[in-house]
Amino acid sequence: MSNGFNDPSPGEAIIDQGLEYITETVCIITDKVYAHCQQRECFANIDVDLNEGEFSSIKFRPGFIEENTLIVTDLENRPNFKRVQFTLKVPYEITKKDGSTITGFLPDIRKDIVLFIPSARDEFDFRIVVETSSSLLNTPTQSNGIVSLAVGVFVIVKVVGRVQLLIPAYGFCPEPPECEEFSPDKDICEEFEYRPFPDFFPPQFEDIYPDV
């Protein structure tokens, strides 16, 4: 029975034993990233009308390429590279103190970049995929029902193609561990029994600066 603390799964235990435990090579069909690049966008002042409510929090949703904005064109004298243009939309949801929500989008992010997209047969389909990570850059301020936000957005753009790959395999996945049943009356002392023992003494100089 698992104690619930730091127990490796059977799969992790097999992998940790080294490459000699590989049992076969298998073909899989998967998405392969042929090229990717990163950029960032900063919006120093975004004003949102809260309709007389009070700001509580904001959540950002995954960004996406706006429909009918993606344009991929060849570049003269640069084989296997293409110009990629699109408009990126990043949705958000603001929650007010009364529990109601307001949804919207950050200002449009227009991209005009060059990406490696190799020549391929006509039937092979490359896809342009985006990933975003957005966060507040300061504490929002509110005045006369308008909340002002500063937001930073990290963007990763990928060129993805569906391919067949030959990879090493450890065989089929082992049986998973038993599910943990939720218990509202869990014994706090039982959990304490499995906590790692803490360091009782401060570190010495050579522990902090081993190379000195």
Phi, psi of 191 (to 5 degrees): -65, -40
Run of H or E including 12: helix 10-16
Whether residue 1 is predicted with pLDDT greater than 60 in this model: the reply is no
Report the mean per-residue pLDDT for the chain: 87
State the Rg of the chain over Cα: 26
Whether residue 16 is predicted with pLDDT greater than 80 in this model: the reply is no
Q: What is the pLDDT of residues 94-144, one digit of tens each?
A: 999 999 999 999 999 999 999 999 999 999 999 999 999 999 999 999 998
CB 59 within 8 A of CB 93: yes
CB proximity list for 32: less than 8 A, separation 6 or greater? 160, 161, 162, 163, 165
Q: What is the pLDDT of residues 138-195, one digit of tens each?
A: 999 999 889 999 999 999 999 999 999 999 888 888 888 877 777 777 777 877 888 8
What was the pLDDT predicted at 114? 96
pTM: 0.75
Whether residue 8 is predicted with pLDDT greater than 80 in this model: the reply is no
Run of H or E including 87: strand 81-89
Run of H or E including 208: helix 205-208
What one-character DSSP code corresponds to residue 70?
Answer: -
